[in-house]
Structures are given as C-alpha cells and as structure tokens.
C-alpha cells in the first residue's frame, strides 16, 4: 500500500491553517455553539498550517488561515520522512513539498483490529499518507494531532488534494463576487418572467455578465462546464462554450477559460481546447 516517495524540496504552496480544538471548552452559557460552516473540513498544505495565525475574535485559542478561514478539522497529505512508535502514540514526520511537519496519532487501548492493521500500513517511511485532524500550537510550534491516518492507494489522491486546496481557497475568496451579481440581477429576473417570456435564464445570465463583469462571466463558463462535462469523456470544448453562451463575446470566454485553468478550477484533457472541472 502507498506510493513510493521520490523526494523533493520544493517551496511554494498556499498559506497556512490551524484548528480551533486546541482552545478551552466553555460552557453553553458562556459561549454559543459553532456554526456548521465554521466546522468544515479544510484541505491545506503544511505551509498553510505554519502561516496560520491566532483568531483574536474567538478568544478560544483557535487559528485562522491568512485568507480568514477558521481552522477546525483539516486534511493534509504528505510523504512520511520519519516514524517514531511509542507505547501511547505514533509520531510521523511528513513533507508535502511546501514544508515539514510532525503528526501525532494517539493510540487507544480499545482500537479495533482493522484500525491497528491500517496503522501498521502507515508506519512506513517513503509512502504518502492522508491525515485528518486538528492543528495545535504548543509554545509557538505547530503540530497536527490526527484523528485518522490512512495510506494513499493511488497518485490521483495526491493530485486531487492539491487541486482541492486551490479550489477551496479561490471559492472562499470569490464568495462575495459570486453572490453579489446574483442579488443585483434578481429584479431583472422577476421582470423577465413577469413579462411572460418563459424561463428567462439567458436574460438572467446576460444581466449578470453586464453587472458582475469578469467574475460573473467566469462563473457562467464554470457553471456551463460543470453541467456539460459528462456529455463527453473528454469534457467540454471551448468552441462549445462559445457556441452555447453566444451572448458573451468570444474573447471574454477564452479569457475566462484561461483564468479558470490558471486557478486550477478546470484542467485540459485531450488537448488544450478540451476541459473538465477539477471539483
């Protein structure tokens, strides 16, 4: 099981992250329950974890990423550089091309046999593992405390993880720009439907393109590809997008495709004109 690690000391990566489980647990009277949105599983890189900063607003010792996302439960993938097996825990040192971090997995007396067998598979240097857990900050040193550790069974999991890191970051950054044009175009939708011209989806989308600018056009292109990428095993062609979204100028569509590709939200398949959506 696992993938042989070929090494690499590359830099880069995204930003950091940390979790909120390291703080003290207040009573229900003193602190309201966290929203489900705040407890979303966040895919991150090691560099993102190191760059996470304390959340000054929460006051519970939790961390936030540089882009403002709160860190509670995180997902990280890395190559095992070192394993230390103790009686109460297993300590891994992993590397993902953006940094190196220690991972601690506590051992339970009542762990099922299947969990024990899985742990034996992960305690090998040179393989990739997927870790789900919380980032803790002990006296300025960050540590990933694992809830679950699993070996990777295919290289696609590694590729998907880094695409997911980029996608979730861009989705958070663009949340306001995605919602705002929809809200601004709402009156136009009602007017069109009230006039008895049918569903009016093109009028709605056209209004978004005019009001929201480049982001709205990019969203329309991305949504179209998501809806039609399964029509062909090679995804959606740029020419098809241009033909179907005929109210958007061709140069604007090609620009949107280029930006989506650079952001990692879409990827080319058969050639540089066929694309599928990463998520």
Q: Tokens in use for 227?
A: 């809806």
pLDDT at 10: 41
Taking the alpha carbons of 264, 270, 274, 279 in that order, is the dihedral positive or negative?
negative
How far is the C-alpha of 267 from the C-alpha of 192, rounded, in Å?
Answer: 35
The pLDDT value recorded for residue 179 is 46
Under DSSP, is residue 230 helix (H, G, I), strand (E, B) or coil?
helix
Q: Which of 106, 117, 107 is nearest to 151 (CA)?
A: 117
Buried b (16+ CB within 10 A) or exposed e, 106-138: eeeeeeeeeeeebbeebbeeebbbbbbbbbbbe
Name the packing angle between helices 214-228 and 175-184 (round to 10°).
Answer: 100
Q: What is the mean pLDDT of the chain?
A: 75
Task: Give 2-11 pLDDT, tens digit per residue.
Answer: 344 444 444 4
Question: Model confidence over 40-65: pLDDT tens digits?
Answer: 789 999 999 999 988 877 666 788 89
pLDDT of residue 44: 94
Q: Is the pLDDT of residue 79 over 50?
A: yes
3-state secondary structure of 222: helix
Q: Which of 140, 78, 136, 60 is nearest to 104 (CA)?
A: 136
Q: Calculate mean pLDDT across residues 22-26.
A: 43
Q: Between 242 and 33, whose confidence is greater? A: 242
23 has a pLDDT exceeding 50: no
Q: How confident is the model at residue 169 (pLDDT cuts 50, 70, 90)?
A: confident
Q: How confident is the model at residue 70 (pLDDT cuts 50, 70, 90)?
A: confident
Q: What's the mean pLDDT in 235-259?
A: 91
Q: Using one digit for the tens of pLDDT, what is the confidence trace for 112-128?
A: 778 888 888 999 999 99
pLDDT reported for residue 31: 42
**Mean pLDDT of the 11-35 span:** 42
Supply the pTM of this predicted model. Answer: 0.52
In the prediction, which pLDDT does 146 show?
92
**pLDDT attached to residue 72:** 83
């Amino acid at each position: 099981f696992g993938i042989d690690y070929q090494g690499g000391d590359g830099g880069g990566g995204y930003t950091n992250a940390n979790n909120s489980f390291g703080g003290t647990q207040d009573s229900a009277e003193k602190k309201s329950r966290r929203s489900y949105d705040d407890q979303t599983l966040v895919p991150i890189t090691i560099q993102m974890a190191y760059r996470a900063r304390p959340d000054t607003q929460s006051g519970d010792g939790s961390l936030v990423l540089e882009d403002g996302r709160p860190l509670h439960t995180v997902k990280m993938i890395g190559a095992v550089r070192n394993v230390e097996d103790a009686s109460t825990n297993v300590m891994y040192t992993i590397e993902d091309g953006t940094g190196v971090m220690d991972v601690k997995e506590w051992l339970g007396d009542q762990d099922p046999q299947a969990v024990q067998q899985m742990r034996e598979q992960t305690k090998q240097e040179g393989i990739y593992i997927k870790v789900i857990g919380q980032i803790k900050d002990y006296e300025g040193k960050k540590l990933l405390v694992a809830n679950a550790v699993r070996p990777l069974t295919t290289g696609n999991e590694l590729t998907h993880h880094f695409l997911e890191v980029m996608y979730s970051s861009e989705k958070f950054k663009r949340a306001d720009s995605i919602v705002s044009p929809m809200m601004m175009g709402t009156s136009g939708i009602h007017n069109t439907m009230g006039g008895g011209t049918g569903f009016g989806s093109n009028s709605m989308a056209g209004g978004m393109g005019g009001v929201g600018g480049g982001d709205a056009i990019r969203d329309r292109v991305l949504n179209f590809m998501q809806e039609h990428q399964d029509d062909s095993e090679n995804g959606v062609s740029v020419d098809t997008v241009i033909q179907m979204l005929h109210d958007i100028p061709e140069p604007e569509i090609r620009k949107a495709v280029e930006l989506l590709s650079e952001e990692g939200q879409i990827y080319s398949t058969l050639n540089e004109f066929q694309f599928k959506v990463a998520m």
